[in-house]
Amino acid sequence: MRLHITGMGLSYILLLTAFYVDNGKSLPLWKDLPPITYWLLPAAVGLPLIIHALSRRSAVDAVFVPRGVAHSIRSDADQTANARVFIDAIGAAPCR
């Protein structure tokens, strides 16, 4: 999951960087900024957001994932039991 969060976040930063480098001189607010801003601002905003998301993900794993058990090696019985606990917690009827 950490790789997915990082990859998606970085791809979005690169997409915005490319957009602003190409179109920044035509955008109302961006045309007043120096060109180096087109290159640096998306990363300056996006990297702290990715770091925050990764730190939150670690905190969630610490609460919900038993020690020594990775998501990829959980058994079907563990996943079913976790789903039942979640369904009971939210008071929803399980799907059949």
Cα separation, 63 vs 92, whole angstroms? 22
What's the pLDDT score for residue 10?
Answer: 95
**How does DSSP classify residue 67?**
T
Cα separation, 37 vs 25, whole angstroms? 11
CB 16 within 8 A of CB 42: yes
Q: Which amino acid is at 7?
A: G
Q: Is the pTM of this model over 0.75?
A: no
Encode pLDDT of 38-85 as tens digits.
Answer: 999 999 999 999 999 988 876 666 555 555 555 555 555 666 666 666
Q: Is the dihedral of CA 60, 64, 65, 66 positive or negative?
A: positive
